[in-house]
Homo-oligomer: A and B are copies of this chain.
Amino acid sequence: MPNPSLNALPTPCLLVDETRMQANIDAMNAQLQRLGVPLRPHLKTCKNIEIARAMLAGHPGAAAVSTLAEADYFFRHGITDLLYAVGIAPGKLAAVAERIEAGMDLTIILDQAATANAVVSAGRQLGCRFRVMLEIDADGARAGFRPDDPDLVSTARKLVEAGADLAGVMVHAGGSYGCSSRQAIVDMAATERRAAVTAAERLGAHGLQCRQVSVGSTPTALRAQDLAGVTEVRAGVYIFQDLVMAGLGICTESEIAVSVLTEVIGHRKAQGEVLVDAGWMALSRDRGTASQARDRGYGLVRDLDGSDLGEVIVQATNQEHGILAGPDNAAVRLADFPVGRRLRILPNHACATAAQHAHYWLLDNQEPARLLRRCNGW
C-alpha cells in the first residue's frame, strides 16, 4: 500500500522533514569537527534508532539517554555505550546492574555523597562494578557538584576505593536556554567547559583520573569557541531544533525539522480565531517561548508545505483543540483558513512536543516516506 499523502494522513500527527534534519546534523558535525571533539548525541529528543544512527554517523558510537527505557531500546538496536544522564535514583541501581550484566556499557551519574554511598553499597550487594560520572554544576541551573566543592574529591575517592569505575565528569549548562544574547551563549559555553575541565583537573591532582570530560547542550555546543580539555559533547534538540532555539538565535525558523500536522475544524467569527484539531495533547503544554522576546503561544503556524504564513500562532489550547490567532490575540482573516485546510505547527520545544506522539512520519521531499516509532515511557 502506498503511503498516504500529507492531505490524507490522520490528524494530528508528527512530521519530520528529513532534509532539514540532515542539515541540522551537518551543522553540528561541522562545528564539532572545527573544535576537534566528538559527539555523544543525547537521544532523549528523537527516541528513535534510525534518527539516532544519523546523529551517530562519523562519531564514536556512544550516546546519552534520559530513561532506562531508552537505554534498553537503543541497546537492543546495537548502541552499547550509553550514559544515563539523570542523577541516579538509588531505587534504580538493581535495574542498572541487570543491564550491565546483560552487556550494556551503561554509565550512571551522581552529584551527592549520599548517592555515592548508595552506589557503593549496591555495588557490594549486587556484585556489580558501576561506571560513574560525577555531575558538575556550571551555572546553578539544576544539579551537580560545584567544581570547587570539597565533597567532589572525597566522593570520587570513596567510589574508586570501593571499586567503582570513575569514568569522569559531565556538565550540562541548562542555563544556556535562558541566555538573551549570542555572546551570553558563547560565554556560557566557556563557563561550561571551564567547570568540566577544572573539576577534572582537581580530581586528577588527587590521583583520580577522568577519561571522560563531557559537556553539552545544543546552544553551548553550537556556540562554543574552544573545547580544549573536553573529550565529548552532548546535544540532543539540535536534531529537530524548535522555536525556543530560534528565539535564542541558535537556528532560524526555516531550520526547524519537526512539526505537527493539523486540520481546521472551525472558526470563532467574533474573535477572528480559527479552531484546529491539535490541542495540548498533540503540541504539549510547553510554553517555552513565553519568557522570550517573541511569545509563540503553543506554536507557530505554517502552511501544509512548511512555508511561512506570517505571525499566526496557537494562542490557546484545550485537550484536542487549538485556537489560532495573530500576536496579542489579533484576528486572522478567516477566509484564509477554511474548514478542512491543513496546516503545520512548529513547536516551542521539540522534546516536549515529540513526547506527545508514539510515531513520526518522516517526510522525503514533502511526502510521507516512513513511519518511525519513538520509545516513550520509562
Contact = CB atoms under 8 A, between A and B. Distances in A.
A320 interface: yes
B10 A268 contact: no
Contacts of A195: none
Given A143-B275, A266-B112, A358-B376, A91 B287 contact: no
Nearest to A85: B320
A31 interface: no
A263 B378 CA distance: 14
Interface string A259-276: 000011111101000010
Given A86-B265, A277-B89, A356 B358 contact: no
Interface stretch (A206-214, A278-286, A361-369): A278-286
How many chain copies? 2
B87 A118 contact: no
B118 A340 contact: yes
Nearest to A267: B112
A168 interface: no
Nearest to A90: B340
Contacts of A68: 10
Interface of A: 7-8, 10-13, 44, 66-68, 86-92, 95, 110-112, 114-115, 118, 140, 142-143, 174, 263-268, 270, 275, 277, 280-282, 284-287, 318-321, 323, 338-340, 342, 351-352, 355-358, 376-378
- Sort A-B residue pairs by CB-CB distance and give the 3 closest, nearest first: A285-B285, A90-B340, A87-B265
Given A86-B265, A115-B265, A140-B270, 20 more contacts: A7-B91, A10-B91, A10-B92, A11-B91, A11-B92, A11-B378, A44-B319, A66-B281, A66-B320, A67-B320, A90-B263, A92-B277, A114-B340, A118-B340, A280-B286, A280-B352, A281-B355, A284-B285, A285-B285, A358-B376
